[in-house]
């Protein structure tokens, strides 16, 4: 594939993100607390997470190992960060979440697989075959956009992991209900885990400074901001004493 073709696909994919973003404010994605059997056949929640996220891990690992340029520059740093994140999301996160009778619709899994195939495919192919090795040389490692980007990535990953841990620990083994989370960034926003994910991939886009990485942060934002709004509205409906000052996803802003 030429760079022009990949850029064309990326722009089309970006346009779809805008449509999905708007749609998601009106249609709640039916998984987790919003799960529903109105969306067709459902399967075990933990297995669903593995099936949704594993394609991203496999695709990036494939491009890292087989790509023409993967190891001819420091592009492998970007691969390594992606692979680390998706190792957690594909295996560690599903193992850590508390088992509940909750199921996940196959429809959601198929959507997530398309999301991951496209984003990992575009980013992996670009870094492995199309990126110029000069863009990721030793000067890149000391450039301001790399340093700010990797800092955001690490801070975002920390926030995401810490918030996921707090949420997972709200339930004692066997419990299946919901509680109002508190402490850490939960005193400021309803979904610090989703906020952390947005910060993390913003950092990645800043570091990578290429169109597929920009496409991925736009998709992450498009997905997670409406999901955080759905979570926030759900909390307010379920808990009359839900803290009124708590924002949705961006502290002090939204």
Interface with ligand NAP (CB under 6 A), residue total: 22
227 binds ligand NAP (CB under 6 A): yes
Q: Is 193 in the site for ligand NAP (CB under 6 A)?
A: yes
Which of 85, 94, 153, 164 touches ligand NAP by CB under 6 A? 164
Closest separation between CB of residue 93 and ligand NAP, Å?
6
Q: Is residue 32 part of the contact set for ligand NAP (CB under 6 A)?
A: yes
Of 15-23, 126-134, 144-152, 173-181, the window that binds ligand NAP (rule: CB under 6 A) is 173-181
Q: Of the candidates 224, 225, 248, 249, which one interacts with ligand NAP according to CB under 6 A?
A: 224
Site mask, ligand NAP, residues 44-83, x = CB under 6 A?
A: ----------------------------------------
> Is 242 a binder of ligand NAP (CB under 6 A)?
no
Among 124, 223, 225, 246, binds ligand NAP (CB under 6 A): 223
The least CB distance from residue 158 to ligand NAP, in Å, is 12
Q: Residue 178 interacts with ligand NAP (CB under 6 A)? A: yes
**Contact stretch for ligand NAP (CB under 6 A) within 14-22, 57-65, 144-152, 162-170:** 162-170
Task: Report d(CA 254, CA 248) in Å as an integer.
Answer: 6
Long-range contacts of 70-75 (CB under 8 A, 24+ apart): 70/127, 70/128, 72/133, 73/131, 73/133, 73/134, 73/135, 73/136, 73/137, 74/136, 74/137, 74/138, 74/140, 74/141, 75/127, 75/128, 75/131, 75/133, 75/136
Q: Which is nearer to ligand NAP, 135 or 236 (CB)?
A: 236
Q: Which stretch binds ligand NAP (CB under 6 A): 78-86, 97-105, 128-136, 243-251?
A: 97-105
End-to-end CA distance of the chain: 40
- Tell me which residues touch ligand NAP (CB under 6 A): 32-33, 97, 100, 102, 160, 164, 167-168, 170-171, 178-179, 181, 193-194, 197, 220, 223-224, 227, 231
């Amino acid at each position: 594939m030429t760079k022009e073709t990949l850029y064309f696909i990326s722009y089309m994919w970006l346009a779809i993100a805008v449509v999905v973003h708007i749609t998601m404010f009106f249609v709640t994605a039916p998984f987790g607390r919003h799960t529903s059997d109105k969306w067709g056949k459902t399967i075990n929640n933990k297995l669903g997470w593995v099936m949704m996220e594993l394609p991203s891990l496999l695709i990036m690992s494939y491009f890292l190992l087989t790509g023409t340029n993967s190891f001819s520059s420091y592009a492998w740093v970007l691969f390594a960060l992606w692979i680390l994140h998706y190792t957690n999301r594909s295996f560690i996160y599903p193992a850590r979440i508390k088992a509940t009778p909750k199921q996940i619709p196959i429809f959601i899994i198929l959507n997530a697989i398309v999301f991951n195939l496209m984003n990992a495919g575009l980013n992996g192919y670009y870094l492995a075959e199309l990126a110029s090795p000069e863009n990721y040389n030793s000067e890149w490692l000391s450039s301001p956009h790399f340093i700010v980007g990797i800092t955001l990535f690490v801070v975002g990953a920390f926030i995401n992991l810490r918030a996921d841990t707090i949420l997972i620990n709200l339930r004692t083994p066997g419990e299946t209900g919901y509680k109002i989370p508190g402490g850490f960034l939960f005193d400021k926003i309803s979904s610090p885990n989703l906020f952390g994910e947005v910060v993390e991939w913003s950092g990645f886009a800043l570091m990578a400074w290429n169109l597929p990485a920009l496409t991925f942060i736009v998709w992450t934002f498009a997905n997670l901001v409406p999901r955080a709004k759905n979570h926030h509205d759900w909390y307010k409906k379920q808990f009359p004493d839900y803290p009124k000052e708590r924002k949705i996803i961006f502290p002090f802003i939204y």
